[in-house]
Amino acid sequence: MSLLTPTPQVCSWTQALDKPASLETYVANGGYQALRRIVTEKVPGDDIIAELKTSALRGRGGAGFPTGLKWSFMPRAFPGDKYIVCNSDEGEPGTFKDRDILRYNPHQLIEGMAIAGYVLGARVGYNYIHGEIFEVYESFERALQEARAAGFLGDELFGTDFSFQLHAHHGYGAYICGEETALLESIEGKKGQPRFKPPFPASFGLYGKPTTINNTETLASVPWIVQHGGQAFLELGKPNNGGSKLFSVSGHVNRPGNYEVPLGTPFSELLEMAGGVRNGHKLKAVIPGGSSAPVLPGEIMMDCTMDFDSIARAGSMLGSGALIVMDETVCMVRALERLSYFYHEESCGQCTPCREGTGWMYRIIHRIEHGQGRAEDLELLNSVAGNIGGHTICALGDAAAMPVQSFLKHFGGEFAYHVEHKRCMV
């Protein structure tokens, strides 16, 4: 495996090699060639953005926004400071793919960020890493040192006038900082409370300067696309869903872990790669895109392919590509209770509907789970969820509401049984 052959292991190819994270391994297999070529040949940034648009690379952090389009929003000709920021604040329950990129292929991310710096006119970048994976933050700092020493980061790279500095910044326990404007506030040394948009970061970002923020996997895919072209990346996946994607599979499977497969791969194949449902149990439900994505019953998932459009048609979101698999032993009331506690705990407190509503929803689900549910509770839950969604500055409110609404939609009978019989039916 190497970066020189267009395999579907876009981000995970180094894992088949000795010392996967080392600079030596990366360079020996084609690493930093794409950066060197565009910088020394002075390839116009517009050409790279055109390749990204052709590739149909969509943001891997959760929103699935087309990356080429996002880059085109940046005022590249603006003469002042501009920034490229990587969002490695991976804390969406079920998601653990960026951690593996940072652990096993940090240089592909560094190269991707340097390419972004070149294209977008940013001379400084920051990679914001989830605080709980502090050892990974430390190993990424070491990778940065290696890249600086080898002349892939720093002043006047490859003897040209292009300079790019890259630094790591760590979080310290706040889910909300995965929201891009909260993340910017956090880099500025403040509480991570999201900003009202507009203005968007492309015009008013870090320190008020034009800023582009992309997910780790998104930026790590860029060197592959520059190396092999947008068309090759598109052809790995399917139209409007270019490339491969890392899927994090957790919960009731025999082999939890990350699997990088082409977008459009049937869910059933992915489940099989993860060893199938544990103990031969029956599949009950899957949350297909991180805990904020609406839950889907197992039988609906078995008809889905793993891409943005298929999962959206089924009524959920591909999100971050994190699949939380639940077998027939799971009590859906208890599962939702835990998720709702999480959103209540992590609400930043800025917007009233989210701050108050997440606690309200948690308390209702808690009493249903503990045999004190009331007949009107299911309607009340839907009403509270409906009054949070769309009424907050950032998407955490929607993220808290969607699980509630989808659990009730698909598994409402279990909730009604809990209310009526004061106990679980599972």
Q: Please report how close the Cβ of residue 200 comes to another protein at its closest, in angstroms.
A: 21
Helix segments in 106-197, DSSP class H: 106-120, 134-149, 180-187
From the centroid of its chain, how far is CA 294?
16
Among residues 32 and 126, whose Cβ is nearest to another protein?
A: 126
The DSSP string of 325-389 is: EEETT--HHHHHHHHHHHHHHH--S-SHHHHHHHHHHHHHHHHHHTT---TTHHHHHHHHHHHHT
Q: How far is the CB of 251 from another protein (least distance, A)?
A: 4
Our CB check for another protein shows the closer of 206 and 300 to be: 206
Structure tokens at 109: 């991310």
Nearer to another protein, 328 or 420 (CB): 328
What does 273-300 look like in DSSP terms, one character per residue?
Answer: HTTSBGGGPPEEEEEBTBTTSPPEEHHH
Long-range contacts, stretch 140-149, CB < 8 angstroms, 24+ apart:
140/102, 140/106, 140/168, 141/168, 143/21, 143/23, 143/106, 143/107, 143/110, 144/110, 144/168, 146/22, 146/23, 146/107, 147/23, 147/107, 147/110
CB 106 within 8 A of CB 220: no
Total residue length of the chain? 426
Q: How many residues bind another protein (CB under 8 A)?
A: 55
Instruction: Say if CB 243 and CB 287 are below 8 A apart.
Output: no
If the CB atoms of residues 119 and 322 are measured against another protein, the closer one turns out to be 322
Could you count the other beta carbons within 10 Å of the beta carbon of residue 79?
Answer: 7
As measured in angstroms, the least distance from the Cβ of 250 to another protein is: 4
Q: Which of 96, 152, 233, 267 binds another protein (CB under 8 A)?
A: 96
Place of tokens 């390839």: 43
Instruction: Kindly tell me which residue out of 24, 188, 269, 376 binds another protein, with binding defined by CB under 8 A.
Output: 188
List binders of another protein among 260-289 (CB under 8 A).
none
**Residue 42 or 190 having the CB closest to another protein:** 190
Per CB under 8 A, which region of 12-20, 62-70, 147-155, 342-350 contacts another protein?
Answer: 342-350
353 in contact with another protein (CB under 8 A): no
Residues in Cβ contact with 191 at an 8 Å cutoff, skipping those fewer than 6 apart: 185, 348
Is residue 80 a contact residue for another protein (CB under 8 A)? no
Residue 107 in contact with another protein, rule: CB under 8 A = no
Among 339, 381, 394, 402, binds another protein (CB under 8 A): 339
99 forms part of the interface with another protein (CB under 8 A): yes
- What's the closest the beta carbon of residue 219 comes to another protein, in angstroms? 17
Tell me if 167 contacts another protein by CB under 8 A.
Answer: yes
The residues in 301-330 that bind another protein, with binding defined as CB under 8 A, are: 322, 324-326, 330
Contact between 345 and another protein per CB under 8 A: yes
Q: Is 356 in the site for another protein (CB under 8 A)?
A: no
Quick check: 82 binds another protein (CB under 8 A)? no
Q: Are 323 and 352 in contact (CB under 8 A)?
A: no
Binding site for another protein (CB under 8 A): 81, 90-96, 98-99, 126, 130-135, 167-175, 186-192, 207, 248-252, 256-258, 291, 322, 324-326, 330, 335, 338-339, 342, 345-346, 348
